[in-house]
Amino acid sequence: MTEIELWIVMLLALMVLSAAVMVLLVKNHVAAVAAASVVPLGLALLFVLMRAPDVAMTEAAVGAGLSSLILALALRRLGLWQIDGVKTRTNLIKTQSEGHRNA
């Protein structure tokens, strides 16, 4: 067990746990699905470090890929697919022009 491996595992564990907390705290449903697909991704990397390469392959393909695909399609069917709220439709170039929020 080298030291660098320990640091990598610590970083991945932190990433997985914070993504799991994000799923419950974020208001937007699309962002919640994105955070929920980060959890199996970090878990797949952890499985590689734990000498389980077959589980890592399955977790990355099925857990991160297929499951988030199902959830994203379900979001569209459930009518929850909203990238932005109606009032906060801005991008980097064009700021909001309603007038009640001046930067």
Partner 1 sequence: MMPDISLELILYTTALGLISIGLAGVVLSRHLFRMVLALGIAEAGANLMLVLAGYRWDAVAPILTTLGEHPPMVDPVPQAMVLTAIVIGVGIQALAVSILIRIRQRYGTLDRSQVVERMDAEIADTASIPRDVSQESPLGERPLPSIPDSTVEIRGGHS
Q: Which stretch binds partner 1 (CB under 8 A): 39-47, 83-91, 92-100?
A: 39-47
State the burial class of residue 55 (Cβ atoms within 10 Å of its Cβ: 0-12, 13-18, 19+).
Answer: middle
Q: Which is nearer to partner 1, 70 or 90 (CB)?
A: 70
Q: Which stretch binds partner 1 (CB under 8 A): 11-19, 82-90, 91-99?
A: 11-19
Residue 29 and residue 27: Cα distance in Å, rounded? 6
User: Which amino acid belongs to residue 17?
Assistant: L
Q: What ranges in the chain are assigned the alpha helix state H?
A: 3-25, 29-49, 53-58, 67-78
38 lies in the binding site for partner 1 (CB under 8 A): no
Q: Which stretch binds partner 1 (CB under 8 A): 69-77, 81-89, 91-99?
A: 69-77
80 lies in the binding site for partner 1 (CB under 8 A): yes
34 lies in the binding site for partner 1 (CB under 8 A): no
